Chain A
Amino acid sequence: MERIMLAHGSGGRLSHELIRTLFQKHLGNPYLDQMNDATQLPGQGHIAVTTDSFVVSPLFFRGGDIGKLAVCGTVNDLAVSGAVPKFLTLALILEEGLPLGDLERIIKSVAETAAEAGVMIVCGDTKVVERGSVDKIFINTTGIGYITNRLVGPERIQPGDEILITGTIGDHGIAILSEREGLEFQTPVVSDCAPLNGLIDAFYIPGVKCMRDPTRGGVATTLNELAGQAGVSMLLDEKQFPLSPSVQGACEMLGLEPLYLANEGKALVIVAPENADEVLINMHAHPLGRHAARIGRVQEGKPGLVLIETPLGGTRIVSMLEGEHLPRIC
């Protein structure tokens, strides 16, 4: 089996070969193919930019891999900001000894996901470090998007607005956990990892005030952040949360809470009450939004306070994730 060697990161012949036979082969486009120190991109007016680094164990999991994640994560950050994702950079830090086949599988996945999201990889970088310095592969992607007339942000949120989620929660978190050493179990749960820009294009109408993707820390943490930034309170309805039984079962088994599990293909959407029905109908019409639901509303009250109504009609606080969300038995 061919493996990544330190020489692949030397800048010499092997590096060039890797770029030509792997990166350009799968990711090539007129911008990447400029092969200059900096890529020149078209565009005018305002742009949005975001960057994110990806480390995940295992590299390949049910429903995705680190390559797909590296594209979706950055595309989604742009898309929920109201921008149209256009270009991505791709920086890889590889551990000496990484099987070349694994790298190719990851790069193919980057290519497929980028195509699905309609973005191009326009420049990149590869470094190889000694065995043990990183865990197989770390990826950083920077995304550039064009600003649209979609005016979204937490400052627009007002009491009375409705809170929607585009689908079931916790799937990514459980898919990853089920493959962790010491916890392994067989699950039908598949990571929800997906680029959201297509879904957002499908449901967006003026009246959508704010969007966020609830990744690490889950829905609970993201809504706490939003409520704090917007200076409002939120009241959620526990029985309205779309949750697959397998995610629920895995959570009960491991003592976890779905509200704190990571999602990689979901958006929380805050929308004016008069527009909520239409947005929800639009979501339901898109394959990624089939299980979209209303989960609560924004209200006057202590800024930053997120409450949830239980199925029996009581209310409790939903706080941010504190530290790691660890499996427990008691």
Chain B
Amino acid sequence: MPMKKESKTLLAQAGDFLAEITALAQSPFTIMEVCGTHTVAIVKNALRELLPKTIRLISGPGCPVCVTDSSDIDRYLYLAAQPNIITATFGDMIRVPGTEKNLQVLRAEGADVRIVYSTQDALELARNNPDKEVVFLGIGFETTAPTVAVSIETASVEGLGNYSVLSMHKIVPPVLRLLAEDDDLVVDAFLDPGHVCSIIGIAPIEFMAQDYGKPGVVTGFEALDILEAIVMLLRQRAEGRSEIEIQYKRVVKVEGNPHAKRIVERVFEPVDASWRGIGLIPQSGLSIREEYSAFDAAKKFSLPVFNSKETPGCRCGDVLKGLIDPTQCPLFGRHCTPMKPVGPCMVSSEGACAAYHRYVQRSVD
């Protein structure tokens, strides 16, 4: 995250937004930030402290690492431990715990695990190691899926037979629908994910405002972006509107990125997917289409089916749905810490629990 140098305009603009928020937030208003990067930006900038007490910000299910199901994790850990496999992964996955181990432990035991910044680097590993199988762990929402789709098409064009992807990709609109249909949900409005919408546009999430009366603002990731988006949501309430608006206009177009949408469509198809802490959500995952099955690690290698269970006592499901704050979980900070995470929200630095643990408070010291 940026540590921007002070400028008068930054403080002045923030002051203007905060004044308008205070004026408009006469009665309680609960906003869910869907995206984990928003969660981190909010806690890093300590925005809660600056907002009036009537505004409650709660964290949503938008961390792809966090919502990756334990069974999927155990499956890729099984694969990573096989001989002749190079596992290429974003750094995010290294510490994520499966039932028994994580990638870090496997690496210490001799597994070949490489951290990459891009699928391009994973392809390069495959080109440079023709006698090894390079498996890329496909984690991420709509923002990341196109980059993985491109790598699969590239491998196909180049005939790079030793590259494959284990797709655990998920998409956001179905989980939003699940939240909107939850009777326990206390959310009035949503900060919608800026980078996901830069790909999909706003059409796929407009049902939230139209069918469920939950307004949303597609938001950027600077502190000022978030404050402005809160102003926009409050204005919608004041004017009795329920719409999906875009605050992050410098990046997000109404129609999204058509090229990215097309390549995802070519390579992936929607499937039912299990979200850790939440459960099975219909048509919320992306699996690799039959035409590209040669690059689908799930088909290329014979992988056992894991039925991994969640840890008892873990309330990540409630945290992911915004029903409780991380600190209200009995395991938080005691039995569940970033070094020894129990539940999904603690495993990624973007997870709500990890963000709280790192920046906000510890229930136990």
Which residues from chain A sit less than 8 Å from chain B, CB to CB? Answer: 181-183, 238-239, 241, 243, 248, 251-255, 257-258, 310-317, 319, 322-324, 326-330
Q: Which of A243, A253, A314 contacts B46 (CB 8 A)?
A: A314
Most buried by A among B10, B64, B125, B349: B349
Is B114 within 8 A of A182, CB to CB?
yes
Nearest CB in chain B: distance from A238 CB, A: 5
Known: A183-B121, A316-B359, A322-B338. A327 touches B115 (CB 8 A): yes
Chain A CB within 8 A of B2 CB: yes
B144 interfacial contact with A, CB 8 Å: yes
Say yes or no: A330-B338 contact (C-beta < 8 A), given A314-B46, A316-B44: no
How far does the alpha carbon of A323 sit from the alpha carbon of B48 in the complex, in Å? 28
Q: For the complex, what is the distance from the CA of A127 to the CA of B64, rounded to whole Å? A: 47
- Decide if B223 is an interface residue (CB 8 Å cutoff): yes
Please encode chain B, from 83 to 95, with 1 for each CB lying within 8 Å of some chain A CB and 0 for all others.
0000010111011
The interface residues of chain A lying within 8 Å CB-to-CB of B23 are none
B3 touches A330 (CB 8 A): no
**Contact across chains for B223 and A312 when beta carbons are under 8 A apart:** yes
Chain B residue numbers with a CB within 8 Å of A253 are 117
Interface residue ranges of B114-159 to A (CB < 8 Å): 114-117, 121, 125, 139-140, 144
Contact partner, B338, options A182, A241, A313, A323, Cβ 8 Å: A323
Taken residue by residue from 24 to 58, chain B's Cβ proximity to chain A (1 for < 8 Å, 0 otherwise) reads as 00000000000011000001111111100000000
Is the CB of B250 closer than 8 A to any CB of chain A?
no
Report if B1 contacts A (CB, 8 A). yes
Listed from nearest, the 6 A-B pairs whose CB atoms lie closest are A314-B46, A326-B91, A314-B49, A316-B359, A328-B92, A239-B6
Cβ of A309 to closest chain B Cβ, rounded Å: 8
Q: Which residues of A contact B1 (CB under 8 A)?
A: 251-252, 257
Q: Please tell me if B11 contacts chain A, counting CB pairs below 8 Å.
A: yes
Q: Is B308 interfacial (CB-CB < 8 Å)?
A: no
Assess A317 versus B2: contact at CB under 8 Å? Given A182-B117, A327-B115: no
Q: Hey, which chain B residues are within 8 Å of A258, CB to CB?
A: 3
Given A311-B10, A330-B350, is A182 in contact with B116 using a C-beta cutoff of 8 Å?
yes
When the two chains form their complex, are residues B140 and A312 in contact, meaning their CB atoms are under 8 A apart? no
Quote the shortest CB–CB distance from A89 to chain B (angstroms): 31
User: In angstroms, how far is the closest chain B Cβ from the Cβ of A55?
Assistant: 16
Question: What is the CA–CA distance of A253 and B118 in the complex, to the nearest angstrom?
Answer: 11
Query: B267 contacts which chain A residues (CB < 8 A)?
Result: none
Chain B residues lying within 8 Å of A241, measured Cβ to Cβ, are 3
Q: How far is the CA of A231 from the CA of B116 in the complex (A)?
A: 40
A183–B92 touching, CB < 8 Å: no
**A-B residue pairs in contact (CB < 8 Å), sample of 23:** A183-B116, A239-B3, A241-B3, A252-B1, A252-B2, A313-B11, A314-B49, A315-B46, A316-B44, A316-B46, A323-B95, A323-B104, A323-B338, A323-B339, A326-B94, A327-B90, A327-B117, A329-B117, A329-B144, A330-B36, A330-B63, A330-B92, A330-B139
Residues of chain B lying within 8 A (CB to CB) of residue A328: 90-92, 348-350
Nearest CB in chain B to that of A305: its residue: B365
Bound together, the chains give a CA A171 to CA B47 distance in angstroms of: 29
Residues of A close to B359: CB separation below 8 A: 316-317, 319
Q: How far does the Cβ of A183 sit from chain B's closest Cβ, in whole Å?
A: 5
Number of A-B contacts (CB under 8 A): 116
Q: How far is the CA of A257 from the CA of B95 in the complex (A)?
A: 18
Give the residues in chain B near A252, CB-CB below 8 Å.
1-2
Cβ–Cβ < 8 Å partners of B316 in chain A: none
Residues B92 and A311 in contact, CB atoms below 8 Å apart: no
Task: Find A327's partner among B3, B91, B125, B144 (CB 8 Å cutoff).
Answer: B91
Q: Is the pair B49, A315 in contact by a Cβ cutoff of 8 Å? A: yes
Which of B4, B37, B350 has the most A CB atoms < 10 Å from its CB? B4
Q: Give the docked Cα–Cα distance between A310 and B337 (Å).
A: 24
Tell which of B2, B47, B223, B357 has the most Cβ of chain A within 10 Å. Answer: B2
- Chain A residues with Cβ below 8 Å from B44 are 310, 316
Across the interface, B117 reaches (CB within 8 A) one of A183, A315, A322, namely A183
- A239-B4, A311-B223, A326-B95 given; name 14 further pairs at CB < 8 Å: A182-B114, A183-B117, A310-B223, A314-B46, A314-B48, A315-B46, A317-B359, A319-B357, A324-B94, A324-B95, A327-B115, A330-B90, A330-B144, A330-B348
List residues of chain A with CB within 8 A of the CB of B349.
Answer: 255, 328
Residues in A whose Cβ lies below 8 Å from that of B5:
239
A330 touches B65 (CB 8 A): yes
How distant is A110 from chain B, measured CB to nearest CB, in Å? Answer: 31
If the complex has contacts A238-B3, A239-B6, A314-B50, are A182 and B115 also in contact, measured as CB distance less than 8 A?
yes
Query: Which chain B positions have C-beta within 8 A of A239?
Result: 3-6
Which residues of A are found within 8 Å of B360, using beta-carbon distances? 316-317
Q: B343 → chain A, closest Cβ, in Å?
A: 16
Cα distance, A328 to B49, chains bound together (Å): 27
Instruction: Give the residues in chain A near B115, CB-CB below 8 Å.
Output: 182-183, 326-327
B3 touches A254 (CB 8 A): no
A82 to B202, CA, bound (A): 61
Specify which of B11, B47, B348, B358 is in contact with A319 (CB 8 Å cutoff). B358
Please, how many angstroms separate the alpha-carbon atoms of A253 and B359 in the complex? 21
Cα-based distance from A254 to B10 in the complex (angstroms): 25
Chain B's closest residue to A315 (CB) is B46
CA distance A241 to B4 in the complex (A): 10
Asked if residues A181 and B114 are in contact (CB atoms below 8 Å), the reply is yes
Say whether, besides A317-B358, A327-B115, A327-B117, A310 and B46 are in contact (CB < 8 Å).
yes
Q: Are A312 and B11 in contact (CB under 8 A)?
A: yes
B90 touching A322 by the CB < 8 A rule?
no
Closest CB of chain B to A51's CB: distance in Å? 25
**Structural contact, A310 and B63, CB atoms closer than 8 A:** no
Q: In the complex, what's the smallest C-beta–C-beta distance from A224 to chain B, in angstroms? A: 12
Q: Which among A182, A238, A248, A319 is the interface contact of B125 at CB below 8 angstroms?
A: A182
Chain A min CB distance to B53 (Å): 15
Cα separation A239 to B114 with both chains bound (whole Å): 35
Q: Is the CB of A329 within 8 A of B140?
A: yes
* Cα(A251)–Cα(B359), bound, Å: 18
